[in-house]
Structure formats: structure tokens, C-alpha cells
Structure 1
Amino acid sequence: MTHEREITEPVDLCLPGGRLNPEAVGWTRRPLHRANLRGWGRGKRWEYWGLVTPTHIVGLVASSLDYAGVHGLYVLDRASGQERSADAVVPLAAGTRFPDRSGAGEVAVRGGGLAIGIRQDANGTAIRAKAPGIELSAEVPLPAGHESLGVVVPWSATRFQYTVKDVGRPVHGVLRLDGVEHALDGFAVLDHGRGRWPYSVTWNWAAGAGDGVAVQLGGKWTDGTGSTENAVFVGGRLHKIGAELTWEYSRRDWLRPWRIHGEGVEVDFTPFHEKVARTDLGIVASETHQCFGTFSGRFRAEGGWVELDGLTGWAEEARNRW
């Protein structure tokens, strides 16, 4: 299903001078890259965690864009459709801390009344976040044998991205909204990113999980690079998809059904809620439409077709000038 090279040993993302290490280009089943980025101005570092439970969806992002830290905490009440959020933009990304390896070390950011802390080790991840009226305490254990998708996307020797997409991890914890406690029992999705990006980029991303199956699909930003971030996980085992996929959706009505398809992939996505996020700082701007919903369809694995019906998650389009 894939032409890409699987990397099985630890590797540095960059050469000593800061350019992309050719030996880092490929994909992994567990985090093996050290993001030894150098220089300032085009570097991007982030951790995004999405938590999905029967009652709530939580999204939190800690990021450094070199010239700014852009952090956020978002909560959706699935029954009422009520959204709550807290966002912060910190000049020069002051006070941010990011490790150079996924799954190890600590992430810490704060600003504008928002604080996020993430501790990672071989056993899993602990997430703490606090904003006015919102407090999150969650544990995301790492099951034995669980695999994630790591991919290096090479636009050029000076523009490249390392991403880890870890989908379908169990999550347990407590969400407090204005002092009222809500139990968190569901699944979690990680988007770990380290790289040096072009100024203008558009991407699609879809992720969902349920009943021992998880799906991770991406598009647009990887087109033409020779790398993809497409995979299906069955029982925690990664099945890599090397084909570029076609995404069909309406930019006029984001809640219309989406279709994602290609070699061995037939996926339909039916949204039930749209989250819109916009940032406009002049020459720096972003617009994201993230739709939460359910998946149906199938994926062709080595042993035959795997049904994807009943998965819950999201599909999104993000446009960035950064």
C-alpha cells in the first residue's frame, strides 16, 4: 500500500547546519525522530491533543511559530452544542517549552490567562490545562504495542515538516466547567509537529476512532512531496497508505457530507458540528473549519477490507499564512 521508506532506527531530522537530513525522510510506527531544528523565523513547533468522549469534545493546542506563541483550549458540549474557548497569542513565543522528541519530556505554555502543561514518558501522557471557567486534568496511557504514524514531509532541503499522528489512545480524567465536574472517558488524538514551513499552506486532516479501529487521513499539504500521512489502525497496528487521496466537500456548506477516497480507501464523513477558528494578525492569518462527525466506509488492508463504520472524530480544512 505504500512506496515510502519505513524508518526503524532513531534519526535526526536536520543535518548539523539545519537543513533537512535526507535519512530522516520516511515514516515510522513509533516516534524515532529528534527534531534538532536550528535558526529562527520559519520554525514551527506544536502539540495538539483532541479528546473525544460521549459527552464532550476537547481540543487544546500549544504552539510556537518563532515570532508568536499561539495557544488555545476548546470545549464542545455534544448534547447542547455549546462551545467554550480560551485563546492566547504571546509575542515571540515567550515562555514556551517544547521537547525535541515526541512522547518524551514536557511541554509548557502560558499567556492571557491560559496555561497548558503536558508531561510525556514511556507510560503515556498527562495533560493539564486551565483557563477562566475551564480546567482539564487528563491521563492518556500508552497501551503495549500501540503504534502511531510518524512522517517527514519534504518540500525542500530548507522547508520540511515532521509530524506524529497518534490516533485512538484511551483517555481518562476530569473536565471542570465553572466548577462542575464531568468525567472524561473516551479516546485521544495527538498531532505533534516540528518543522520549517512555507509562508502559505492549506491542509486537510481527518481523524477518528471506535471499536478498536482508527483512521488518520491528510491531504493538500503533502501533495507532490512523495510522502503521505494516511493510515488506518486496527487493534493498535498501523497500516500505512501511500496513495494521495481525493477530498470532496463543500466550502459553502461545511456540514454537508464529505468524501475522501483513493486507492484502497472509500470514506464518507457526516458532520454534526462545525467549529470555526480565525486569526488575522496582518501578514499572519489562519482560518480553520473543523467539523466533528461520524465516519463510514472501508479500507483495503493486507487481509481484505476493514469496515470504518461508526468511528467518531473530525475532518477539517486549514488555510494558513504564517
Structure 2
Amino acid sequence: MMPTPLNEREITAPVALTTAYGTLNHDALGWSRTPLHDTSGIPGRGHWGRNKRWEYWNVMTVSHIIAFTISCVDYMALHEVWVLDRATGEEIGTTTISPGGRSATLPPSLGDGPARARTRRISLDVDESFDGTRLRGTTPRVSFDMLATRPPGHESLGVVVPWRRGDEISRFQYTVKDVARPVAGTVTVDGTPHDVPPGSWAVLDHGRGRWPYRVHWNWAAGSGLVDGRVIGLQLGAKWTDGSGATENALLVDGHLSKISEELVWDYDPQAFLTPWHVHGTSADLTFTPFYDKRSRTDAVVIASRTDQLFGVWSGWVTDDTGARVRVDGIEGFAEEVLNRW
């Protein structure tokens, strides 16, 4: 299989994701290096059941991995908090599913207000501040309070992915993938506090869109320091294939280089913990996993199969000047997800 080059349009001015009729605004197609899309038209009338809205955060420290989700998919809200003790391998997960969307508060567009989840077992708060994003959560065994800072000039990848049926685009997704956010704070497990020290990194997946019922995707990210520079890696596949868009990008000291190429992903779905190879003309990357977060859900209407591998990246990516940038040693994840939702 060969990588596929694409011609993608950079968006540099604010634009609405949807029209007044709730359909995709074709002027919104493209990618941006800061959040410029107004997504207040999601959910919108006449499309009930296909609207998906979420905020997912992942934080990697030397001692723990912390992840949480606030989401609403019209007919239900799903919230999760998950923590891994990297020394012992113990994982603590709490998931709640509730009918409708009353337990979820999600801003119309990124940065336009708080995100919150409120159930008997999970409380989550995401609040923007002048210096970053405050992340707080509580479950029966876990609590955390962290600040993901936003350094001056820090860029993130926003992209609209369309799914076509002939000439019609009835399904589409706007995503912001924000990698290499320095984070600090505290995570408390069973009453014992643990610092989130310097050198910890946060990653955001912000999503608003209308999805097909079945979807298959790869997503990968990495953050860290290489030769004194802050390196962020953002990669995706399968769900974007054939759409004319990719969610591939490299971040170096806050500057984003767009990778307009459908990269090739080589890995063994029967042995996820063996090394992965993601490559093309603009990248040659190896991902070596050390932990598989396996999730399986079968709730009749909703079913999902997720293997999220945490590990270490090595290799290179070409930036927008044509230089090869090494990513050796940065940590992150790569996942395969199959959803029926």
C-alpha cells in the first residue's frame, strides 16, 4: 500500500460548520492551526441520533496516565474517568451511561464555555482560563485538579472530515486535536495524592459532528522534549480515508506543520503490543507499546471495541520547511477503534 498525497485548504478566518438549514457549510471544509469553526449548529434539528459531541483529555505523567471523556450522542450521554498506575499496572476505571444528554454540559464551540459531567459516580469540569484549561474530576476512588497550560503561540490542528454518498455530504466531523500541552497539578488515588510534575503532557480531542452508525478509526498522538524542543505528534487513519482530509500534523515548539498525506499504518490487530509502523513520504515512525487499554461495550444500540496502546515513538516527520524532525523518545498512544453508535 502506498501513501496518498492530498491537496488540503487552510482556513484562516472564522467560519460556521453548518448552514442555516443545518447542512454542512462547504466553506468550512479544510484545516486550521487555531480553532476557527463555529459548531453551534450541532446538534441541530432534523438530525437526531447522528449528532456526536465530546471532549476527551489524556494526561501522561511519569507515574500515572489519566484520561476522561464528557460526551453526548443525542440519545445518551457517556462519561468516563480512567487512571493507570504505571508502576503497578493497576487501572481504575469508572464509566456512566445515562439516557438523553442532561448529565452533559458541552460548549457550542471550543472555548465558548465550560464542559461538565454530573452523575452519581462521576463529576467532571473543564474550564478555560487566561493561561490554559483547568481539568477537574471526582469518582469514588479518584480525583484530580490539573491545569493544561497554553504557551504563547501554541497551535492545534482543527479539521473538517466529510463522508460522501455520491455528490452528497450528509455526515461530517469537526475535530480539534491539541497535543503537547504542558500540564501540572495533582491526581489523588484512594486518598493518596500524586503530583503531576513538570514534563507531563496533556492531549485534547474535541469533537462535533454527525456520524455514520458504523465507523472504524486509528488515532495516535505523542508529546515530549527532543533535543530541547517541544515535539507534538498527531496522526489518524481509516475514518478519514478517501475523504480528501487528514488529521496528520507535527508540532515543534508550538508551530504546526500539516501533513497532507494519507499515511500507511502497519500493525498486527492480533498482537497489538508488537511495534506499529506509520509511514509515508513525509514520515517514518515506529511506535513501541507498553500497555493496552482494552475496552469492549455491547449495549444493543451502542457497541464498541477499543484497543488504546500507550508507548514510545521514534523516527522522523518532515516539517513545513522540508526538514526531517526526530521524535525519538516522546510518549503517547496509538489506538484502533470500531464503533457502532
TM-score w.r.t. length of structure 2: 0.92
**Which residue number in structure 2 is paired with residue 200 of structure 1?**
214
DSSP 3-state at the match of 2:27 = helix
- The answer on whether the counterparts of 1:165 and 1:191 sit within 8 Å (CA) in structure 2 is yes
DSSP 3-state at the match of 2:105 = coil
Q: Are residues 1:280 and 2:298 paired? A: yes
For residue 112 of structure 1, report the CA deviation from its aligned partner: 4.1
**Which residue number in structure 1 is paired with residue 134 of structure 2?**
126
The 5-angstrom pairing of residues 41-120 of structure 1 reads: 41-120=49-128
Q: 1:265 aligns with which of 283, 297, 303?
A: 283
Structure 1 residues 249-295: Cα deviation after superposition (integer angstroms, max 9, x where no partner) = 11111101111111211010000000011111113101110000000
Q: Are residues 1:24 and 2:28 paired? A: yes
DSSP 3-state at the match of 2:62 = coil
Worse-matched range after superposition: 19-28 or 107-116:
107-116
Count of equivalent residues: 322
**Which residue number in structure 1 is paired with residue 188 of structure 2?**
176
For residue 132 of structure 1, report the CA deviation from its aligned partner: 0.3
Q: 1:226 aligns with which of 214, 234, 244?
A: 244
Worse-matched range after superposition: 70-79 or 108-117:
108-117
- C-alpha separation in 1, matches of 2:93 and 2:190: 13
**Which residue number in structure 2 is paired with residue 313 of structure 1?**
332
- C-alpha separation in 2, matches of 1:200 and 1:257: 27
Q: Are residues 1:304 and 2:312 paired? A: no
Over the aligned positions, Cα root-mean-square deviation in angstroms equals 1.1
Worse-matched range after superposition: 101-110 or 186-195:
101-110
For residue 12 of structure 1, report the CA deviation from its aligned partner: 0.6
**What is the identity, as a one-letter code, of the residue corresponding to 1:150?**
G
- The answer on whether the counterparts of 2:6 and 2:262 sit within 8 Å (CA) in structure 1 is no
**What is the identity, as a one-letter code, of the residue corresponding to 2:109?**
R
Q: 2:17 aligns with which of 5, 13, 16?
A: 13
Q: 2:307 aligns with which of 289, 306, 310?
A: 289
- C-alpha separation in 2, matches of 1:49 and 1:5: 27
**What is the identity, as a one-letter code, of the residue corresponding to 1:117?**
D
- C-alpha separation in 2, matches of 1:104 and 1:216: 24
- The answer on whether the counterparts of 2:222 and 2:232 sit within 8 Å (CA) in structure 1 is yes
- The answer on whether the counterparts of 2:314 and 2:327 sit within 8 Å (CA) in structure 1 is yes
Mark the runs of 5 or more structure 1 residues left unpaired by the alignment. Answer: none
Structure 1 residues 53-85: Cα deviation after superposition (integer angstroms, max 9, x where no partner) = 111111100100111101100001111111111
**What is the identity, as a one-letter code, of the residue corresponding to 1:136?**
F
For residue 93 of structure 1, report the CA deviation from its aligned partner: 2.0
- C-alpha separation in 1, matches of 2:129 and 2:113: 7
For residue 97 of structure 1, report the CA deviation from its aligned partner: 1.0
% identical aligned pairs: 47
Mark the runs of 5 or more structure 2 residues left unpaired by the alignment. Answer: none
